[in-house]
Amino acid sequence: MKKKKKADKTKQYSLWDNCRYALRQLRQKEGDIGMAVCGGDVALGVLLPFLEAALAGAVAAILTSGRRPEAILLLVAGYVVLLQTVRFLQGHLRNLRFKTLFLLRIDMGMDFFRKTVWMDGQSLESAQGQKKRKDAGRNLYSGNGQGIEAYTKAWCDLVMQLIGLVLYGAIVGQVSLILLAILVLQTLLVSYLHTKAGKRAYAMEDEIEKKWGIFQYLRRETVIPGNGKDIRMYRMDKWFLGMFHGLIDRVCALIDRQQTGYMAAGMAEDLLTFARSMVVYGWLVREMAAGNMTIPSFLLYVGIVAGFGAWMNGLFGAWRQILENEKLMDDYRDFMDFGVVEEGRQAPGRPGRTHEIRFEHVCFRYEGSGEDTIQDLNLTIRPGERLALVGPNGAGKTTLIKLLCGLYRPTSGTVYLDGRDIQSLDQRAVFREFAVVFQDVFAFSFPLSDNVSCVDCGREDSERLRGSLEKAGLWERVQALPKGARTFMNKDLDEAGVTLSGGEVQKLMLARALYKDAPMVILDEPTAALDPIAESEMYERYDELVHGRTAVFISHRLSSTRFCDRILFLENGRITEEGTHGELMQRGGAYAELFSIQARYYKEQKTECAATL
């Protein structure tokens, strides 16, 4: 196993490293054709302005060449045809480049999704992982004008502008090195001003992003239907509106400061350009008046000098785009490097058969927590055993389950699967050995059959699907649905979709676990949303549900643990009591005390109901 480094802050990459990364992605995703399209666009992007700038001088040279009118007309027509042909090809390549870079963004989005669903759950679930994933998404899903698409386009434009500047500078240098020095000096001064403005704007991006994130959170909360009653009952509308105004004002102020810096750099550029033009054009006019320069040459150099300014403006525009998207590139790459990547892992032995799970001095601490949730835990779960985990809220039961099935990695200690460190095994192969129903159940907005089988509609085993739904007690409900097992859940993807009740969703997740037919079954509060009758029926069928499997069962209702071979009572991440229900009741410890409290509560509830009737 190879672990990638984790950092509390976003890793920053150098400008040139991000450039190489973007070009490498372009070549890998779009191939040599994509590279050729971008290269051709750069080449024609340099040639076309040069032909346009030289048009007046070329026509003047042809007219004063002394050739016959027919030859002059043919030469001028040929030049115009060449110019239009290059213009057409450049426009076509520009459209192809737009398409290529758009596809690059889409293809990198697939890498992003693959990383999200394949990376280890512990890293993804952490607050750090969630923030990194959210920030990385902005590199792909902020539109054509931001992120990887705009970043790669800006580098292509930057190369084009640099080549144009060098070409035009070489032409000017043949006339006068002093003129070239003036143009270069102005370019360096403007470059410094724009770079300084870009760095100043870049330094404000973190605060803008933070404020914008708060704004987006508030916006989402106001449109959630379930929140509407609290907002109205407690008159929170004023609070929300006040927060909206404050955040918008702050973000606008920061953006205004960014734009002010760019505007100041632009005004300085205009002044320097004016001064440069006065000097350069004055020199050209003097040279022509003195007879040192012909009219065609004068027209050519006027176009070249004007074009030099256009190249310079384009260069700064591309540079600004690069700087504005640097952070988005850093965020994306930081997420793609984050978490654990599996390399060369082996599959578990005895796949599809019951396993022994052993914890040796296992501790686990959540990110940012000051103490361990699981503390020095030692435990062996025997093959085929039915084990119950009970204890108060926050005792670490669900965390223990995630460690057991390999979703979490111990902070210290080792979890063994059949004597082998579970972290040394292929994670996906380990997951195939477990069927888990977690406490927080939900249904994806897919067809019901997809939710149970976890394969595309029509590829599931229909007999196994029906058997799983029957054992989970949901088959009759499924038969009553408009399209049976093909009915979509919820209304996100199909307006005719059906929303199941909490208890029905819990049965659906139980059916999913049964369909998987894994040798290890873990049920985390499997009856929390069931009514008493449905709960009783499920307990009666429990032996049938877990027959031939190792089963771990979590419940707050201690009366439901009697059918288990062994009961573990957890407190503060430690196993404080262990035994059968009868043994723990005779011991008279925390388990017996909690069981007695629950029994008395249910007895009082029953008495109150009888009195009411």
**Confidence band of 292 (pLDDT split at 50, 70, 90):** confident
DSSP lists the bridge partners of residue 577 as: 569
**Confidence band of 535 (pLDDT split at 50, 70, 90):** low
Mean pLDDT is lowest, of 226-235, 238-247, 341-350, for 341-350
Looking at per-residue pLDDT, the higher value among 3 and 591 belongs to 591
The pLDDT value given to residue 2? 40
Cα→Cα distances 188→182, 184, 196, 525, Å: 10, 6, 12, 68
Average pLDDT over residues 379-405: 90
CA dihedral sign, ordered 443, 447, 452, 454: negative
Domain 357-586: which CATH class? alpha beta
**Confidence band of 599 (pLDDT split at 50, 70, 90):** low
Cα→Cα distances 494→380, 506, 509, 513, Å: 46, 22, 21, 25
Q: For the domain 2-341, what is the CATH superfamily, name and number?
A: ABC transporter type 1, transmembrane domain (1.20.1560.10)
**Confidence band of 534 (pLDDT split at 50, 70, 90):** low
**Confidence band of 451 (pLDDT split at 50, 70, 90):** very high
Q: Where are the domains of the chain?
A: 2-341, 357-586
Average pLDDT over residues 282-308: 80
Average pLDDT over residues 524-549: 70
pLDDT at 565 over 90: no
pLDDT at 23 over 70: yes
CB 345 within 8 A of CB 425: yes
The helix/strand/coil state of 272 is helix
Q: How far apart are the first and last CA of the chain?
A: 63
* Domains 2-341 and 357-586 fall in the same CATH topology: no
Nearest in space to 40 (alpha carbons), one of 167, 161, 156, 158? 156
Contacts of 464 (CB under 8 A, 6+ apart): 453, 515, 517
Cα→Cα distances 42→33, 83, 89, 505, 574, Å: 14, 16, 12, 57, 66
**Confidence band of 207 (pLDDT split at 50, 70, 90):** confident
CB 295 within 8 A of CB 64: yes
CB 355 within 8 A of CB 417: yes
Q: How many residues does the chain have?
A: 613
DSSP state letters, 485-545 = GGPBBSSSS-TT-BPPPHHHHHHHHHHHHHHHT-SEEEEESTTTTS-HHHHHHHHHTHHHH
205-223 and 177-203 are packed helices; what angle lies between their axes, rounded to 10 degrees? 40
Q: Quick: pLDDT tens for 97-149.
A: 999 999 999 999 999 998 988 888 788 888 888 889 988 998 999 888 889 99
d(CA 88, CA 583): 88
Residue 554 is given by DSSP the state E
Nearest in space to 303 (alpha carbons), one of 418, 172, 197? 172
225-233 and 205-223 are packed helices; what angle lies between their axes, rounded to 10 degrees? 90
d(CA 501, CA 490): 11
d(CA 111, CA 25): 11
pLDDT at 297 over 90: no
pTM for this predicted structure: 0.74
Average pLDDT over residues 551-573: 82
**Confidence band of 154 (pLDDT split at 50, 70, 90):** very high
Instruction: Sort 39 into a burial class: Cβ within 10 Å, 0-12 / 13-18 / 19+.
Output: middle
CB 495 within 8 A of CB 524: no
DSSP state letters, 312-347 = HHHHHHHHHHHHHHHHHHHHHHHHHT-SEE--SPBP
Vertex 348, ends 347 and 352: CA angle to 5°?
110
